[in-house]
Amino acid sequence: MIKILFVCLGNICRSATAEEVMSTYVRKAGLAEQIEIDSAGISAYHKGELPDKRMRAHAKRRGYELTSLSRPVSIDDFYTFDYIIGMDDNNIAALKDKSPSIETDSKISRMTDYSSRLLVDYVPDPYYGGAEGFENVLDILEDACEGLLQKLKERHYL
Protein backbone atom coordinates (compact mmCIF):
# COMPACT_ATOMS: atom_id res chain seq x y z
CA MET A 1 0.00 0.00 0.00
CA ILE A 2 1.36 3.41 -1.02
CA LYS A 3 0.34 6.12 1.44
CA ILE A 4 0.11 9.81 0.51
CA LEU A 5 -0.50 12.77 2.82
CA PHE A 6 -1.36 16.19 1.38
CA VAL A 7 -0.61 19.18 3.64
CA CYS A 8 -1.52 22.87 3.67
CA LEU A 9 -1.84 25.43 6.45
CA GLY A 10 -5.31 24.67 7.86
CA ASN A 11 -6.43 21.58 5.92
CA ILE A 12 -9.69 23.25 4.82
CA CYS A 13 -8.91 24.31 1.24
CA ARG A 14 -5.90 23.04 -0.67
CA SER A 15 -4.90 19.77 1.01
CA ALA A 16 -8.49 18.64 1.56
CA THR A 17 -9.17 19.27 -2.11
CA ALA A 18 -5.99 17.49 -3.18
CA GLU A 19 -7.10 14.50 -1.11
CA GLU A 20 -10.43 14.28 -2.93
CA VAL A 21 -9.05 15.00 -6.42
CA MET A 22 -6.33 12.37 -6.00
CA SER A 23 -8.79 9.88 -4.48
CA THR A 24 -11.05 10.35 -7.49
CA TYR A 25 -8.19 9.79 -9.95
CA VAL A 26 -6.99 6.73 -8.02
CA ARG A 27 -10.49 5.20 -7.99
CA LYS A 28 -10.93 5.84 -11.72
CA ALA A 29 -7.57 4.16 -12.37
CA GLY A 30 -8.67 1.11 -10.35
CA LEU A 31 -5.88 1.62 -7.81
CA ALA A 32 -7.89 2.28 -4.64
CA GLU A 33 -6.63 -0.97 -3.08
CA GLN A 34 -3.02 0.08 -3.66
CA ILE A 35 -2.98 3.79 -2.79
CA GLU A 36 -4.21 5.36 0.44
CA ILE A 37 -4.73 9.13 0.61
CA ASP A 38 -5.21 11.55 3.49
CA SER A 39 -4.72 15.24 4.24
CA ALA A 40 -3.67 17.36 7.21
CA GLY A 41 -2.78 20.90 8.18
CA ILE A 42 0.28 22.51 9.67
CA SER A 43 -2.06 24.32 12.07
CA ALA A 44 -4.68 22.74 14.33
CA TYR A 45 -6.82 25.87 14.13
CA HIS A 46 -9.57 24.21 12.06
CA LYS A 47 -9.32 20.75 13.67
CA GLY A 48 -12.54 18.77 13.15
CA GLU A 49 -14.01 21.18 10.60
CA LEU A 50 -15.22 20.38 7.10
CA PRO A 51 -13.41 22.06 4.21
CA ASP A 52 -14.21 25.72 3.53
CA LYS A 53 -17.75 26.06 2.12
CA ARG A 54 -16.51 28.06 -0.88
CA MET A 55 -13.95 25.37 -1.72
CA ARG A 56 -16.64 22.70 -1.36
CA ALA A 57 -18.95 24.61 -3.72
CA HIS A 58 -16.30 25.07 -6.41
CA ALA A 59 -15.17 21.45 -6.10
CA LYS A 60 -18.75 20.18 -6.30
CA ARG A 61 -19.19 21.91 -9.67
CA ARG A 62 -16.34 19.73 -10.92
CA GLY A 63 -17.78 16.57 -9.40
CA TYR A 64 -15.78 16.40 -6.18
CA GLU A 65 -17.35 15.96 -2.73
CA LEU A 66 -15.07 17.37 -0.04
CA THR A 67 -16.02 15.58 3.18
CA SER A 68 -12.80 15.06 5.13
CA LEU A 69 -12.43 16.73 8.51
CA SER A 70 -9.42 18.92 9.20
CA ARG A 71 -6.67 17.56 11.39
CA PRO A 72 -3.14 18.69 12.19
CA VAL A 73 -0.01 16.87 11.02
CA SER A 74 1.35 14.53 13.68
CA ILE A 75 4.79 13.02 14.20
CA ASP A 76 3.25 9.60 13.43
CA ASP A 77 2.39 10.86 9.94
CA PHE A 78 6.09 11.00 9.09
CA TYR A 79 6.37 7.27 9.77
CA THR A 80 2.98 6.25 8.33
CA PHE A 81 3.07 7.99 4.95
CA ASP A 82 5.40 7.34 2.01
CA TYR A 83 4.76 10.74 0.40
CA ILE A 84 4.13 13.95 2.34
CA ILE A 85 3.20 16.67 -0.11
CA GLY A 86 3.04 20.34 0.85
CA MET A 87 1.23 23.01 -1.11
CA ASP A 88 3.75 25.88 -0.80
CA ASP A 89 7.20 26.77 0.51
CA ASN A 90 5.87 27.69 3.95
CA ASN A 91 4.22 24.27 4.24
CA ILE A 92 7.44 22.57 3.12
CA ALA A 93 9.51 24.52 5.67
CA ALA A 94 7.05 23.72 8.47
CA LEU A 95 7.02 20.04 7.51
CA LYS A 96 10.82 19.92 7.55
CA ASP A 97 10.80 21.59 10.98
CA LYS A 98 8.39 18.93 12.26
CA SER A 99 10.13 16.02 10.54
CA PRO A 100 11.84 13.78 13.11
CA SER A 101 14.70 12.53 10.90
CA ILE A 102 16.65 12.84 7.67
CA GLU A 103 14.86 9.71 6.43
CA THR A 104 11.45 11.26 6.96
CA ASP A 105 12.67 14.55 5.39
CA SER A 106 13.10 12.63 2.14
CA LYS A 107 9.34 11.93 2.01
CA ILE A 108 8.50 15.64 1.73
CA SER A 109 7.83 17.20 -1.67
CA ARG A 110 5.93 20.12 -3.18
CA MET A 111 2.59 19.53 -4.93
CA THR A 112 3.63 21.44 -8.02
CA ASP A 113 6.67 19.18 -8.45
CA TYR A 114 4.16 16.84 -10.10
CA SER A 115 2.56 19.40 -12.43
CA SER A 116 2.80 18.48 -16.07
CA ARG A 117 0.85 21.16 -17.95
CA LEU A 118 0.77 24.23 -15.70
CA LEU A 119 3.99 26.06 -14.88
CA VAL A 120 3.48 27.14 -11.27
CA ASP A 121 5.77 27.14 -8.26
CA TYR A 122 3.17 26.48 -5.58
CA VAL A 123 -0.55 26.07 -4.89
CA PRO A 124 -1.73 29.48 -3.65
CA ASP A 125 -4.00 29.74 -0.63
CA PRO A 126 -7.45 30.83 -1.91
CA TYR A 127 -8.86 31.54 1.56
CA TYR A 128 -8.76 35.35 1.40
CA GLY A 129 -9.44 35.64 -2.33
CA GLY A 130 -12.40 35.42 -4.64
CA ALA A 131 -13.92 32.72 -6.80
CA GLU A 132 -11.06 32.77 -9.31
CA GLY A 133 -8.65 31.70 -6.55
CA PHE A 134 -10.64 28.55 -5.80
CA GLU A 135 -10.89 27.71 -9.49
CA ASN A 136 -7.15 28.26 -9.92
CA VAL A 137 -6.44 25.89 -7.02
CA LEU A 138 -8.63 23.24 -8.62
CA ASP A 139 -6.85 23.67 -11.97
CA ILE A 140 -3.44 23.30 -10.35
CA LEU A 141 -4.46 20.33 -8.21
CA GLU A 142 -6.05 18.45 -11.10
CA ASP A 143 -2.87 18.89 -13.14
CA ALA A 144 -0.54 17.96 -10.26
CA CYS A 145 -2.64 14.95 -9.20
CA GLU A 146 -2.56 13.61 -12.76
CA GLY A 147 1.21 14.00 -12.76
CA LEU A 148 1.56 12.41 -9.32
CA LEU A 149 -0.52 9.42 -10.35
CA GLN A 150 1.64 8.98 -13.44
CA LYS A 151 4.83 9.13 -11.30
CA LEU A 152 3.39 6.56 -8.88
CA LYS A 153 2.56 4.22 -11.74
CA GLU A 154 6.12 4.53 -13.05
CA ARG A 155 7.92 4.28 -9.68
CA HIS A 156 5.81 1.49 -8.25
CA TYR A 157 4.93 -0.39 -11.44
CA LEU A 158 1.19 0.05 -10.96
User: Where in the sequence numbering do the catalytic residues fall?
Assistant: 8, 14, 125
127 phi, psi to nearest 5 deg: -55, -45
* Residue 122 and residue 91 in contact, taking contact as beta carbons nearer than 8 Å: no
Angle made by CA atoms 120, 25, 158, in degrees to the nearest 5: 100
DSSP letters spanning 17-32: HHHHHHHHHHHHTT-T
Cα–Cα dist 94/31, whole Å: 30
Q: Identify the bridge partners of residue 70 per DSSP, sorted by sequence position.
A: none
Phi-psi region of 71 (alpha: psi -120 to 50; beta: other; left: phi over 0): beta
Among 65, 2, 14, 64, residue whose Cα is nearest residue 39:
14
